[in-house]
Structure 1
Amino acid sequence: MDITDIVVEEFVEVSADERLAKVRATFESENPRGIIVTEDGEYAGVIGESELVKSRIQDDTKASVLMTSAPRVKHTEDIREVARLLVEGDVNVAPVFRGETLDGIITTDAILRAVIDNLDALTVGQIYTDEVIAAGEETTVGQAINRFREHGISRLPVVDDDATLVGILTTHDIVDFVVRDHERQHKGDRTGDQDRMLDLPIENLMSSPVLTATPEETVKAAVERMFDNEVSGLVVSAADNADAVGGVITKTDVLRALTFTEEESMDVQITNVKLLDSIDRAEIVDSITQVVDKYQAMNVIHAHVRFHEHKEKLRGTPLIQAQIRLRTSHGQLAGSGEGYGANHAFHVALDKLERNVLERKGVDADAKQRGQMVKNLSEI
């Protein structure tokens, strides 16, 4: 299936010279999945909501400073390939071209609506992210923004002292608050001072009650709930406690699942490929394969490697966070690490992954041994 019939012809477009104040206001008024940035009438890049939140750039700054590159997509491109391009580019919108003409945009939502009837073959438990960054009710807005930036995430489940889920804070909540704060200041209300805003506890901004999903329900049902409530993700309840956080499922997780293959070679997806320096995709795939081969009983369904760049640098080389996640026949396994440059960060994460794989192997071996012991005792 190609994307010809799901290209979105109506989209928000701003000039590269536009001030960020107006861009932020556009998100508030039109709630787009992203904005196409043009320069001298030509496509230049996109701005996503998460970039607006993670940046502390002043309102008078030009949009070109914050825009990111997004893949140029042909209007006849296969829908699975477009899903891969969006995930690897870490964007929710990309320009669609018919020849050299900008024909429209393709969005995460457009793809998911096109395939939603096929999503009942997957369960939430098969694709959700089980390693979650959460926050307490007294966490400040400033601390929350730092977590969004440091971990490259777009939502924070909020828990009380008993680890019970009480709310959710998203990048959209932050953008909405910033826009309203900006409007108050223009009206002469100085109570919206930036320092005061950053010191506010997030319980003042979070949404509650929280929309959730269970590991057992279908991905189709979860995505329909996202669409019905105009959200991009759901908190997944813990299997043994419906009031606790077990994970998160987002539209990006679903897009990633669309790229899963049944080929014999491992399906590895890389987010933020632009950060690769002295390492390439082939080396990444080979390195993960070598680790997995140490545990022959494990079948890897999908591997995802995500790179996230921090502002800190050493001799011009940025500090990179690498996260490796495997979805396997024995559950999810992950490893993460930081280093200067993608190569260094990846191998730190790979070492952690290998330890986790071998630990899982040891646990399964112990379980098998215990099972044999029980069998032997029963025969006495």
Structure 2
Amino acid sequence: MDIADIATREFVEVDANKRLGKVRSIFERENPKGIIVTEDDDYTGVITQKQLVQSHVEDNAKAGAMTRSAPKVERTDDVREVARVLVEGGVKLAPVFEAGELWGIVTEDDILDAVLDNLDALSVEDIYTRDVITVSEDTNVGQVVNLLRKHGISRLPVLGDDDGLTGMVTRHDIVDVVVRDMNKTTRGDRSGEIERVLDMPVYDVMSSPVETAKLGDSVEDAVARMLENDFAGLVVTPEDDDTHVAGILTKTDVLRALTYTEEEHMDVQITNIKLLDTISRADIRSDIETVADKYGAMQVQHAHVRFHEHKEKLRGTPLIQCQIRLRTNKGQAAGSGEGYGAETAFNVALDKLERNVLELKGVQADEEYRGQLLRKLGEL
């Protein structure tokens, strides 16, 4: 399936110097799928409606302040390749070009809606993310902010006294509370008010109840619910338990499954590939294969490496967090680490990954996920 069958021309092009107030009014008036930002007629990035809704940047700011980089795709690109581009770019939409000219856009939701009927053969258990970070109801907002920043994530499930799921807190929930309270105070009071907000228990800002999916649910049903309700993901619970967290299923997990191939070499996906500096995709694949080859019985079927940039810098080099997650014939393994520059962060994460791989010894082999998913999905 080519992306030409999915892409849409429901977008608006604006100059990077246009005021955000005008951009917001465009969404209200024309309801486009996204906005393409240009400067001197050259493409610079995108703005989505969700970005604007979840942002409290003032209307007088320029559109360029809200613009996010998004990689270009061609109208003739395969849907699997475009899914990979979105996953590796850490973005929800991409501009579509034809013969060097901007033609339209394609969104994450457009792709998922187009392939929805192909997802009925997959179960949530096939592709969901395990090892989800959680917090308790009495965790304060400041600690939540640190966890979101440290792990480069946007949401955390909240657990009650019995470790049962009671809510979900997102970055947007926290921003809403901070901005709402700041608007009620004078400039001189704001420092104390911020400290008060950071000391609040997450129970006071979380959303409840939480939408969940069972391990045995079909991915088609789960994605249909996400699309219908504009959910980014669903908390996954065991078959016989509605409250304990088994993991999470996100739209990105589904896109990632669409990108699996049956190539001979290990399939590697890198989110935020633009952060690579002194290390290449080939280096990353080679280093992961070196770890895998140390344990002859373990075969890596899929590797996902995610980089996240923090604002902190050392002599101009940004602090980077790296997360590595492997799906192997012995189960899943993961490792994470931080360092100044992508290569340093990757090496720290790789060292932790190797230690965690040792724990896979003796674990009953999983199904051969990649080939299984391809057979289930068929040709798209």
- The alpha carbon displacement at 1:144 in A equals 3.9
8 Å contact from structure 1 (residues 267, 302) kept in 2 = yes
Structure 2 SS opposite 1:245? coil
Structure 1 SS opposite 2:332? strand
Structure 2 SS opposite 1:324? strand
- The alpha carbon displacement at 1:34 in A equals 5.1
Which residue matches 1:350? 350
Structure 2 SS opposite 1:355? helix
Task: Encode CA deviations 1:230-264: one digit per residue, 9 max, x unaligned.
Answer: 21100011467431111111001110111111222
Q: Give ranges in structure 1 of 5+ residues lacking alignment.
A: 366-380
8 Å contact from structure 2 (residues 10, 33) kept in 1 = no
Correspondence 1:207-356 to 2 at 5 A: 207-238=207-238, 241-356=241-356
8 Å contact from structure 2 (residues 330, 364) kept in 1 = no
Structure 2 SS opposite 1:91? coil
Task: Encode CA deviations 1:244-291: one digit per residue, 9 max, x unaligned.
Answer: 111111001110111111222100001111111111011110111111
Code of the residue aligned with 1:214 in structure 2: it is K
Which residue matches 1:72? 72
Structure 1 SS opposite 2:115? helix
Farther off after superposition, 60-69 or 80-89: 60-69
Farther off after superposition, 139-148 or 291-300: 139-148
1:300–1:25: structure 2 CA closer, same or farther, 3 Å change rule?
Answer: farther
8 Å contact from structure 1 (residues 135, 158) kept in 2 = yes
> Whole-Å Cα distance in 1 between the matches of residues 11 and 178 of structure 2?
23
8 Å contact from structure 2 (residues 165, 245) kept in 1 = yes
Which residue matches 1:63? 63
Which residue matches 1:126? 126
Structure 2 SS opposite 1:257? helix
Which residue matches 1:377? none
Task: Encode CA deviations 1:187-232: one digit per residue, 9 max, x unaligned.
Answer: xx65999746944544444332211112222211211121222211
> Whole-Å Cα distance in 2 between the matches of residues 143 and 53 of structure 1?
25
> Whole-Å Cα distance in 1 between the matches of residues 186 and 49 of structure 2?
25
> Whole-Å Cα distance in 2 between the matches of residues 49 and 170 of structure 1?
17
Structure 2 SS opposite 1:256? helix
- The alpha carbon displacement at 1:91 in A equals 0.3
> Whole-Å Cα distance in 2 between the matches of residues 103 and 124 of structure 1?
35
> Whole-Å Cα distance in 2 between the matches of residues 318 and 161 of structure 1?
38
Code of the residue aligned with 2:219 in structure 1: it is V
- The alpha carbon displacement at 1:145 in A equals 4.3
Alignment of 1:94 with 2:103, yes or no, is no
> Whole-Å Cα distance in 2 between the matches of residues 101 and 330 of structure 1?
46
1:37–1:146: structure 2 CA closer, same or farther, 3 Å change rule?
Answer: farther
Alignment of 1:107 with 2:115, yes or no, is no
Identity %: 61
> Whole-Å Cα distance in 1 between the matches of residues 60 and 143 of structure 2?
24
Structure 1 SS opposite 2:248? strand
Code of the residue aligned with 2:110 in structure 1: it is A
Code of the residue aligned with 1:317 in structure 2: it is T
Q: Give ranges in structure 2 of 5+ residues lacking alignment.
A: 366-380
Which residue matches 1:166? 166
> Whole-Å Cα distance in 2 between the matches of residues 191 and 209 of structure 1?
34
Farther off after superposition, 63-72 or 234-243: 234-243
Structure 2 SS opposite 1:337? strand
Which residue matches 1:82? 82
Code of the residue aligned with 1:89 in structure 2: it is G
1:348–1:190: structure 2 CA closer, same or farther, 3 Å change rule?
Answer: closer
Which residue matches 2:157? 157
Code of the residue aligned with 2:124 in structure 1: it is V
8 Å contact from structure 1 (residues 28, 176) kept in 2 = no
Task: Encode CA deviations 1:155-176: one digit per residue, 9 max, x unaligned.
Answer: 2212223221111233454566
> Whole-Å Cα distance in 2 between the matches of residues 68 and 90 of structure 1?
10
8 Å contact from structure 1 (residues 54, 148) kept in 2 = no
- The alpha carbon displacement at 1:70 in A equals 0.9
> Whole-Å Cα distance in 2 between the matches of residues 55 and 319 of structure 1?
24
1:93–1:318: structure 2 CA closer, same or farther, 3 Å change rule?
Answer: same
- The alpha carbon displacement at 1:302 in A equals 1.1
> Whole-Å Cα distance in 1 between the matches of residues 26 and 201 of structure 2?
26
- The alpha carbon displacement at 1:143 in A equals 4.7
